[in-house]
Amino acid sequence: MHEASSFIATLQKRQGLMVACPEEIAYHQGWIDAAQVEKIAAPLIKSGYGRYLMNLLV
């Protein structure tokens, strides 16, 4: 389990992408729009995940 989490962390860090980010997938598939992503990200803005979601909109 530790090896798997280390692999995912390394992959995300090197590529600058999140693995299995449901909001990102939904946004790129057109299932949710930018306003919905922003609404989801707003309460999480202090975390890396919230900042990542907001950067999808830039």
Is 3 strand, coil or helix?
Answer: helix
Which residues in 9-27 are b (16+ Cβ under 10 Å) and which e? eeeeeeeeebeebebbeeb
Please state the φ and ψ torsions of residue 46, each to the nearest 5 degrees.
-80, -10
Identify the DSSP state of 8.
Answer: H
Contacts 24+ apart (CB under 8 A), 1-7: none
pLDDT at 44: 97
Q: Which amino acid is at 35?
A: A
pLDDT at 48: 93
Q: What is the pLDDT of residues 1-58, one digit of tens each?
A: 999 999 999 999 999 889 999 999 999 999 999 999 999 999 999 999 999 999 999 9
